[in-house]
Amino acid sequence: MRPLFVDPDIRKAETLPASFYRDKTMFEDTREAIFSRWWQYAGDVPDPAHTDNVIPFTLLPDFLDEPLLRTKSVAGDWRVLSNVCTHRGTILVQDPGRYRQIACPYHGRCFQLDGTFKSMPAFKEALDFPRPEDHLPSVAMEEWLGLFFVALDPAVPFREVVGPIQDYVGFLPLDTLQYDPAQSRDFAVKSHWALYCDNYLEGLHIPFVHPALNEAIDFNAYEYHQFPYCNLQVGIADPGQPSFDLPPGHPDAGRAIYAYYFWVYPNLMFNFYPWGLSLNIVEPKSRDTCLVRFRTYTFRGTEFDRSVNAIDETELEDETVVEQVQRGIQSRLYRTGRFSPKMEPNVHHFHRLLAADINAYQ
């Protein structure tokens, strides 16, 4: 397969070819080339009063499909372990609960809550046992914004990825963010996961697709910024629209900022508003389907105002146009496109990262 090439000069660059979105092998390659190596959302940090100390979960169901466990030590620290027995590969824990140890339901192998091998029936005669491989593998995990993030084989440290976000929004009361399930939704979208990200990463379509959002922001002042593993779109508020109370010394001090739209490679969106955070997770399901999870977190003492931030309306508009692109990109007559240097630098950034990872894997 020919290497992917996206010219570093956006003025000359072509987008990823249509084959990237259509090719089955290319889609399969993204599992190991991208998603097993980059940080993924893995749930919220439970309230300290929460009694469960072992919580099973699956990382990117139907795609990575990796069975994992969150376990809590006596000291209150959380870690992430494999949920697969190191004896014969059985799933260890089916249901969350309070456990003294992790016991395999198949042959009785037991592990400490930190994953250390503890005991195993009928293995007294085994030589060189237990080995390091008999402990449960530990998975890289970080806590940030009251959320868990994991990477099976981290390409870079987590803080290198999200550091630019912290620099912009660190003035906010991030430690008060609280999950609002009533304002959170999942959307099944009939498109390739990367097409959904392509759409998110540019504001060029806003006047044509999002009339309500276009009324709330100053489209002509829309901004784009790129960092090594994330990028940012800045929405400037129109007069009368809500905006951040930015402290002196902030890069945007004195400006009316409607929202900071951060994208983290490859599939996470952190949308910060004066009322809180809308976290969007784009989960691949197949070459032509993905699940987009909208999770809403409000700052303590604030409320999500649906009449001001029409997130559901914007999502449905995005879903409609992205599904049309999914249909169109199957055309035998479409090969590749070009980037708007002014309005699509973040899409260009995304395509460069994708091409680099896919080429390195191949």
CATH fold of 18-36+165-361 reads: Naphthalene 1,2-dioxygenase Alpha Subunit; Chain A, domain 1 (3.90.380)
Over residues 25-34, the pLDDT tens digits come to 999 999 999 9
Confidence label for 47 from pLDDT (cuts 50, 70 and 90): confident
Q: Read off the pLDDT of residues 170-227 as tens digits, 9 standing for 90 and up.
A: 999 999 999 999 999 999 999 999 999 999 999 988 888 888 888 888 888 899 999 9
Q: What mean pLDDT do residues 298-321 have? A: 77
pLDDT of res. 304: 66
314 has a pLDDT exceeding 90? no
Instruction: Over range 70-97, report the average pLDDT.
Output: 96
Whether the CB-CB separation of 283 and 290 falls below 8 Å is answered with: yes
Would 18-36+165-361 and 40-151 be classified into the same CATH topology? no
Average pLDDT of every residue of the chain: 94
Question: Can you give the pLDDT at residue 348?
Answer: 98
**pTM reported for the whole predicted model:** 0.94
pLDDT at residue 308 greater than cutoff 60 = no
User: Beta partners for 231?
Assistant: 226, 263
State residue 312's pLDDT score. Answer: 72
Q: Tell me which of 40-49, 80-89, 346-355 is least confident.
A: 40-49
The pLDDT value given to residue 272: 97
Contacts of residue 26, Cβ cutoff 8 Å, sequence gap at least 6 = 1, 19, 20, 358
What percent of the chain is predicted at pLDDT more than 90? 86
252 φ/ψ sector (left φ>0, alpha ψ -120 to 50, else beta): alpha
Interacting residues of 224 by C-beta distance below 8 A, sequence separation 6+: 203, 231, 232, 233, 234, 343, 345, 346
Question: For residue 254, what pLDDT band results from cuts at 50, 70 and 90?
Answer: very high
Percent of the chain clearing pLDDT 70 (strictly above): 98
Torsion sign (Cα): 185, 189, 192, 195? negative
From the list 163, 266, 129, the residue with the least C-alpha distance to 280 is 266
- Domains of the chain, by residue range, sit at 18-36+165-361, 40-151
pLDDT of res. 321: 94
Region 235-254 average pLDDT? 94
pLDDT classification of 271: cutoffs 50, 70, 90: very high
User: How much is the average pLDDT of 112-135?
Assistant: 97
Please check the confidence at residue 14 and state whether its pLDDT lies above 90: yes
pLDDT of residue 310: 62
Residue 1 scores a pLDDT above 80: no
Q: What is the mean pLDDT of residues 301-328?
A: 80
Residue range 40-151 forms a domain whose CATH class is mainly beta
Which residues are CB-contacts of 278 (< 8 A; sequence separation ≥ 6)? Answer: 269, 271, 294, 295, 296, 297, 309, 311
Q: Is-contact 44 147, C-beta < 8 A?
A: yes
